[in-house]
Chains A and B, each alone.
Chain A
Amino acid sequence: MKHDVIVIGAGFSGLAAALRFVRYRKRPLVLEAHDRPGGLSSWYRRGGRTFESGLHALTSFAPPDDRAAPINRMLRQLGLSRDLLGFLPQSGARVAFADGVELGFSNDIELLRAEIASRFPGEADGFDRLCAFAREADPGRMRPGGSAREFVAQYIGDPLLASMLLFPLIVYGASNEHDLDVLSMLIMFRAIYLEGLFRPAVNVRELLGALVAAIEDGGGEVRFGSPVARVAVNSGRVEGVELPDGGFVPARMVISTAGLPVTMKLLGRREEVESGRISFFETQYVLDRKTAAALAGTETVYFYNFSGGSGYRCPDGLIEPAVGSMCLPHRFRGREGEEPMVRVTNLGNYRRWKALSRDEYVAAKEDASRQAARFAERIIGPFSDGVLFRDAFTPVTIERFSRRPGGAVYGSPEKRWDGGLGVDGLLLAGTDQGLVGVVGAMISGVNTANRMLLPMRLGELRE
């Protein structure tokens, strides 16, 4: 067979899986439906500028000498140097709730601890115990299931503080409304609070380009504009994939990063899998330097919920402007010279956007971007008059380019933590394996490749 493994999807999880195979001299074939890599974390060009469409920040920051840190371990397993990424840490982050209640955090957990001690006296001990648990927990040995809200309540008595602590973790990765799985919560708690946020020195386009180049240099192949029509299974074993033109690519192993609902369809299975109701509307405002310099605050990332409730749900209207996250990419350390920009991300209702006519859709985007700015301006001060260029994408845009039904950025609420689908030689990687974000996706890709490579290599050693 020409290919040792077929990887469906050239997002971060698929590319990481393929690169892991290449490291062991195996030949992966990556099939990507879109004309570019990235999936849920990609880029687009508009008005002469490159915009990133995925996460605002990467999680799991670690210094170079912390060898056991998940991100360093993952890079090592892929044979990638830390210099490829470049680690530009956040200047800080802030969680803002109604009535002016705020909490700051940074890549040093002491800041968050001090904020809690001063604003929620009596909760610092519980927070310390929660940190200790998250630090020592080994997610690889834990079982999913259970509410993060109920779990955190065992440590944090004040429901407002518990909600504020959970909010960034939910916004950055919950496929359910209102809550997330305890296991996801612990992974995110560690990745965001104990390790921290950063961004690469290169843009996402360059980063993806480097991953594709490393796969191709190592003898793998990445095909763009190449969707998969069907995953062929015979007697419980995967045999390859069928292409829309009827072509067939045989392979003993297939990794699908297309998400659980789509993968079930590719298998021709009838069972309904919920595709997820969490999607986003995002506006990117490019600012003139004078306006940017006059903005309030120094933080890179803000998480806000002025709704009064949990806030995290599919909104009734097109968007929920009072709940969101905001990133100022020029505030990452070392990016101060970049053109200033504000990215504002709010929850969006896919069905409502989908129901609009073309003209209504264009007008609704304008209106939603204006509403979104109003709440963002509550935090960083006025910027609407200093916008040089503005662009927005909706849940419908996300669906079109990522092929996630409903634009469900964090995938289906139903996760397959072990990647298993009941078919020999087939594993699911990526978002629906329960790991989210660029770093989570890459770790998922590496782990999935390892599960296939271990038996292969043991077999070779026996020969």
Chain B
Amino acid sequence: MERDDIKKALLEIIREIDDELDVDSLDEEKPLRDQLDFDSMDFLDIVMALRKRYQIQIPEEDYPRLATIASSIDYLHPRLNP
């Protein structure tokens, strides 16, 4: 999976959580939490959606690595391309 595909999938997941959101306005480098006003529950939605889509298990200690879109792609890329 290419980095662009991963980004597309992430944005789709985020849009599912909040359908009023303009995902194109998101800054890849800024924490999602600040830009989306997401809480911990929304964050778990992202983790759950990733697991459902890709059967990927993300341990709790890795959650901080999903802070921004860019860091999420860095984290997911090697795991989705074994």
Contacts and interface: CB of A to CB of B under 8 A. Distances in A.
A73 B44 CA distance: 17
Interface residues of A, number: 14
Contacts of A460: 48
Interface stretch (A5-13, A39-47, A449-457): A449-457
Interface in B21-74: 37, 39-41, 44, 47-48, 51, 58, 60
B43 to A, nearest CB: 10
- Say what secondary structure dominates the interface of chain B: helix
B12 interface: no
Contact of B37 (A24, A68, A462): A68
A67 interface: yes
A87 to B, nearest CB: 15
A454 B41 contact: yes
Contacts of A119: none
B18 interface: yes
B37 A77 contact: no
Contacts, number: 28
A453 B48 CA distance: 14
Interface residues of B, number: 12
Nearest to A461: B47
A1 interface: no
A73 B41 contact: no
Q: Which 5 A-B pairs have the closest CB atoms?
A: A68-B37, A457-B44, A67-B37, A450-B41, A454-B40
Interface of A: 24, 67-68, 73, 76-77, 450, 453-454, 457-458, 460-462
Interface of B: 18, 20, 37, 39-41, 44, 47-48, 51, 58, 60
6 contacts: A24-B41, A76-B18, A450-B39, A450-B40, A454-B41, A457-B44
